Amino acid sequence: MKSPADLEATLEEYFGFSTFREGQKEVIMNVLDDKDSLAILPTGSGKSLCYQFPSLVKSGLTIVVSPLISLMIDQVKQMKSRGMKRVAALHSFLTTEERRRIFQHLNKYDLLYISPEMLLMPRMREALKNVSVSLFVVDEAHCISQWGHEFRTDYLKLGLVMKELEDPPLLAVSATATPQVQEDILFQLGRSQAEKIIYPMDKPNIQLSMSKVESEAEKLAFLKRYLQKQQAPTMIYFSSRQTAEKVCYELKRDSLGKIGFYHGGMEAVDRQLVQQQFMKNELDIICCTSAFGMGIDKPDIRLVIHYHLPPRIESFIQEIGRAGRDGGECTSLLLYAPGDERLPRMFIDSELPTDEQIEGFVFKTEALESTPSLEACVTLELSESQYNFMRYQVETANINGINDVSKLKRSMKQMKRKREKKKLTHLERMLEVLHTTGCRRKELYRHFQSFVQPARYICCDRCDASVFEVTYQLQRKRTVAAPWQERLRALLVPDGSYEK
Amino acid sequence: MFRYILLDCLHSMNAERTISGVFHLLRGKKSSQTFQDAKVYGIDRYYGIYPGLKRETVINILEKLEKDQAIQRVDESRVAVTEIGRGELNSHVETLHFSGMEYSEAVNEFQDRLLLWIQVLSNAVHHKEYYLPVVDGAAVQQWAKKLYIKEKKRLGYEGERLFHELIRILAGLSEMEKDLFVRRLTGGGDTGWTYDQLAESWAIPISDVPLYLKNTHYYLFFEAVKNPSSSLHKLTGDLVKKESLTASSKKSIRLFDEFQSLEEVAELRGLKTSTIEDHLVEAVLVDPERPIDAFIGESELEEIREVVQTIDTKRLKVIHDELDGRYSYFQLRMVLAKLQKG
């Protein structure tokens, strides 16, 4: 066991920080003592360090179950770029060759990111029997409760895998989990006795503001006026790729700074370039969808703007959490025009099947005497999540011995309405924050905690409308683009000539 | 540039193929239909040169071409190039280096390698130890790592050598192409530009940027291959011309040469007869010298050739009907493959 001073030395060596952020040390000490823990740490507090760090110190393999492939890839990239090489991510995007390479070297890794689907594969489980697993981490653990019943059904089987691995210590981490979700996470994992380490989610350094305008055009005009007064690292979130691009061009036309856009439809190198430009302050403003920001740790973002309404407060909290990670003053601005709730509503509709789709799916299941494949359901025009929802429902019904077709349909429709209601509740909560006449900070966090910390700057526009006048002026030195020969020289021969 | 290439493809295809055919060709779809289109219409150099092409982009440019009366709708999915369009094709001056059918995979890999290798070299000479690679993909990163270890002792020298070499080779390109290529690079303290940013700086359509870059990389690739002592040669050494036939096709062809029966090959391989037919057509597309007398006689071949030339089409249905259905589609495809372009 290392002494606390050693911990800080290791932190400095691998992560380049001299001290831990709030909460990190407590979680890490717990993990190093092999205690089961559930850690709820706010976005931007360095959650991943809570398992990355122990994986370096502990002997044996740390398994991190993570729901998002892009998140895994990003984190592995970041760890490698800091010189930690014994890490890997195992997911469905890898080629067979790449997978085999990881399979053969399981014993050599300190840390392995893995998707739940991959972890549950029989071959993987077999391979892991020969590996000593010293820590089992469930990242973004709220997925177990929030989504697990629908499309990440494999998440519900993690408890079983932990048993097979001879019950390694557990660390479940999340940034957004209501008390009810926290209980559910530990229940589903079969570790109800785990210690809960919960830090408040509210950021005292963020100032909340929301503005209702009359139309889409007025929204854009408001944004332009607002940005005219700002010069600082800024993120603007959109719920559609097209709008992100369109507004980006609009802002560029008005010369509101160096601006770029980022979304999942872009070519891979382009995405990498935009991200790096923003990290290095070569861009001031980034117009993006929620695809951006995953695993991005830029400390000095001052402004996070929402051009569209997020579908749930959890996403909102996560996204505004990217501002002011350095602890300095920062602002969140949400813009709302009438009808903005339509987009998230449509999104919810597309995630769950209609009654007709349920009828059709059950009919097909009957006819085929097995669960139909997604391809076999083309006529039903299902989205992947609609399909997954129904497949899971049918399969659980089989296990529970429900053979009666009308009963099955009835229970599926019921379940759908329940999920729909739940999703609409999430949206409703977002709207409550928007429409409240009271303090937005209290309204935003009340589902997660019973108090809010005092705001370090302005609390919100309900408490003090002058929040709209807050400006950030960080002058950046902009270099003029050099001719191509000079640029090429600067890249490859920066210090003049070498001796041959 | 995209506009030119699209127009050139449409012109070559002579309104006999749908727009989707062009789309698949440019994206490099691995299907026997696409392969056949590329060869029969003589546009195989464009095969797979635009893997990231989106349907919207094609639709967008088509609308513009139609507005400028460079093309005309034949029906919903096919267009013909007009006199104005042909004029536009003839006035095109840019030099194209594409050779997609044979090299698209090699050049794509080369492009990733070069981007990553310059980042590695540049960061080394700038003493930057930790950074995010601009190119994802385990294979290319593995490759860069190997080269890095090999060249570790002389990265500074390598950087300078590559600099001089690039200055020399790039001289063969237009000012814009040079600039686009260099601005795309990342390394040291400087991040490369996105397609969008490059398009803005030269006021060109964004859909042209990937093509200009690709064209440059074909050019650099062939220069590197030509010159084994060059610094760039290290990046191309193991990248070869694509195997013109898939392993599966090869197997079918070998078996056919042995047994001389489609049905037998199909049964032996557990594949449909039509698939074996595809493979045998491919064999002729790749090697027009390959005899086809097992499927069609000399005088019959002549008859079909005449029809193809008289009515000037490569549409199977039209040829089939013109010959009163006396030949199977498979026979006709064989003959078209044999005749190829011209």
Of A127-131, A228-232, B58-62, minimum mean pLDDT range: A127-131
- Mutation target for A interface from B115, B160, B173: give the one with most A CBs within 10 A: B160
Q: B132 and A81 in contact by Cβ < 8 A?
A: yes
Lowest mean pLDDT, pick from A159-163, A264-268, A451-455, B335-339: B335-339
Residues 148-167 of B with CB under 8 A from A: 156-157, 159-160, 162-163, 166-167
User: What average pLDDT score do residues A434-458 get?
Assistant: 92
Q: What does the pLDDT read at residue A211?
A: 96
Is pLDDT above 70 for A40? Answer: yes
Average pLDDT of every residue of chain A = 87
Helix ranges restricted to H, A200-309: 216-228, 241-253, 268-279
Pick the residue from chain B with its C-alpha nearest to A479.
B190
Distance CA A64, CA A80 (A): 16
**Does the distance separating the beta carbons of A268 and B191 come in below 8 Å?**
no
Sign of CA dihedral B222, B228, B234, B238: positive
First and final C-alpha spacing in chain A: 51
pLDDT of residue A4: 56
pLDDT-derived band of residue B33, with 50, 70 and 90 as boundaries?
confident
Give B210 to chain A, closest Cα distance, Å: 10
Which is higher by pLDDT, B309 or B198? B198
Averaged over B153-159, what is the pLDDT? Answer: 91
pLDDT (0 to 100) of residue A262: 95
Query: Which chain B residue's Cα is nearest to A500?
Result: B157
Contact residues, chain B, for A261 at CB < 8 Å: 196
Residue A326 has pLDDT above 90, yes or no: no
pLDDT, tens digit, 9 for 90 and up, residues A296-306: 778 899 999 99
Q: List the structure tokens of A353.
A: 């099947």
Q: Is B115 on the interface with A (CB under 8 A)?
A: yes
Cα B15 from chain centre: 21
Q: Do B125 and A484 touch (CB under 8 A)?
A: no
Most A CBs within 10 Å, among B154, B158, B191, to test the A interface: B191
B183 to chain A: which residues are within 8 Å by CB? 481, 484, 487
Chain-chain contact of B190 with A272 (C-beta, under 8 angstroms): no
The reported pLDDT for the residue numbered A497 is: 58
Mean pLDDT of A172-192: 87
Is A289 a residue whose pLDDT tops 80?
yes
- The end-to-end CA distance of chain B, in Å, is 25
- B194, B201, B209, best to mutate vs chain A, most A CBs in 10 Å: B194
Residue B210 near chain A (CB below 8 Å) = yes
Closest listed residue to residue A332, CA positions, set A180, A459, A213, A173: A459
**Given this model, what pLDDT does residue A2 score?**
47
Task: Give the number of C-alpha atoms closer than 13 A to the C-alpha of residue B253, restricted to the C-beta side.
Answer: 19
- Residue B205 contacts A where some CB pair is shorter than 8 Å: no
Instruction: Kindly list the residues from chain A whose CB atom is less than 8 angstroms away from the CB atom of residue B135.
Output: 268-269, 272
Q: How far is CA A226 from its chain centroid?
A: 28
pLDDT at residue B122 greater than cutoff 90: yes
Q: ipTM of the assembly?
A: 0.82
What residues contact B129, with CB distance under 8 A and at least 6 apart?
A: A83, B123
| pLDDT > 50? residue B20 | yes
Of the pLDDT bands very low, low, confident and very high (cuts 50, 70, 90), residue B197 is: very high
Token pair of A6 as six digits = 């050693």
Record the tokens describing residue A375, joined without a space: 């391809």
Residue B112's pLDDT is what? 95
Which residues in chain A have their CB less than 8 angstroms from residue B159's CB? 492-493, 498
Least confident among A69-73, A340-344, B133-137: A69-73
Residue A458 banded pLDDT, cuts 50, 70, 90: very high
Residue A152: its pLDDT value, please? Answer: 63
Chain A nearest-CA residue for B179: A484
In this complex, the residue of B125, B135, B201 whose CB is nearest that of residue A494 is B125
The residue of chain A nearest to residue B170, with distances taken between CA atoms, is A485
Q: Best interface-test mutation with B: which of A484, A495, A497, A499 has the largest number of B CBs within 10 A?
A: A484
**pLDDT for the residue numbered A294:** 64
The answer to whether residue B163 scores a pLDDT higher than 90 is yes
Exposed / middle / buried, residue A296 (Cβ in 10 Å: 0-12, 13-18, 19+): middle
Q: Does residue B272 surpass a pLDDT of 60? A: yes
Whether residue B215 is predicted with pLDDT greater than 50 in this model: the reply is yes
Give the angle A257-A259-A265 at the CA atoms, nearest 5°. 170
Nearest to B166 among A73, A260, A488 (CB): A488
Q: Do A487 and B182 touch (CB under 8 A)?
A: yes
Whether B140 has its CB under 8 Å from any CB of chain A: the answer is no
CB contact under 8 A, A272 and B118: no
Contacts of B238 (CB under 8 A, 6+ apart): none
Task: Evaluate if residue A149 carries a pLDDT over 50.
Answer: no
* Mean of pLDDT values over B305-315: 83
Average pLDDT on B14-36 reads 88
How close is the nearest chain B Cα to the Cα of A357, in Å? 29
Mean pLDDT estimate for chain B: 89
Q: Do A491 and B185 touch (CB under 8 A)?
A: yes
User: Chain A neighbours among B 33-72 (CB < 8 Å)?
Assistant: 52
Q: List residues bridging with A336 in a β-sheet.
A: A212
Q: How many CB atoms lie within 10 A of CB B306?
A: 10
List CB contacts (< 8 A) between A482 and chain B: none
Q: Is residue A146 over pLDDT 60? A: no
The answer to whether residue B89 scores a pLDDT higher than 50 is: yes
Q: Lowest-pLDDT range, A78-87, A208-217, A277-286?
A: A78-87
- For residue A78, the chain B residues in CB contact (below 8 A) are 132
pLDDT confidence of residue A207: 97
Question: Does A5 score more than 70 pLDDT?
Answer: no
Q: How far away is chain A from the Cα of B135, in angstroms, using its nearest Cα?
A: 6
Query: In sequence order, what DSSP letters do the residues of A364-385 get, joined into one string?
Result: HHHHHTSPPPTGGGGGG---HH
Q: Is residue A198 over pLDDT 90?
A: no
Residue B84 near chain A (CB below 8 Å) = no
The tokens describing A40, both together, are 């709820």
Task: Report d(CA B211, CA B2) in Å as an integer.
Answer: 7
Partnered with residue B20 across adjacent β-strands are none
Q: What is the mean pLDDT of residues B53-77?
A: 92
Cβ contacts (< 8 Å) between B160 and chain A: which residues?
A: 492-493, 497-498
Which pLDDT band holds residue A119 (cuts at 50, 70, 90)? Answer: very high
Backbone angles phi, psi at A339, to 5 degrees: 95, -5
- Interface list for B 166-185 with A (CB within 8 A): 166-167, 178-179, 181-183, 185
Q: Does the pLDDT value for residue A150 go beyond 60?
A: no
Task: With cut-offs at 50, 70 and 90, classify the pLDDT of residue A368.
Answer: confident
CB–CB contact A267 B52 (8 Å): yes
Kindly tell me if the per-residue pLDDT of B290 is higher than 80: yes
pLDDT-based confidence at B70, cuts 50/70/90? very high
Calculate what percentage of chain B has a pLDDT beyond 90: 51
Q: State whether A492 and B118 contact (CB < 8 Å).
A: yes
What's the burial of A449, exposed, middle or buried (CB within 10 Å: 0-12/13-18/19+)?
Answer: middle
> Is the model's pLDDT at A1 over the cut of 60?
no
Closest chain B C-alpha to A278 CA, distance in angstroms? 10
Lowest mean pLDDT among A159-168, A311-320, A377-386: A377-386
| Structure confidence at residue A471 as a pLDDT band (50, 70, 90) | very high
Mean pLDDT, residues B288-299: 84
Chain A nearest CA to B144, separation (Å): 15
Contacts for A227 with CB less than 8 Å, ≥ 6 apart: A234, A251, A256, A257, A285
Subunit contact A83:B129, Cβ cutoff 8 A: yes
* Strand, helix or coil for residue A401: coil
- Residues of A in CB contact (< 8 Å) with B are 73, 77-78, 81-83, 94-95, 98, 260-261, 266-270, 272-274, 276-277, 280, 282, 481, 484-485, 487-495, 497-498, 500
List the single residue in A94, A272, A490 with the smallest CB-CB distance to B190: A490
Among A269, A484, A488, beta carbon nearest to B134: A269
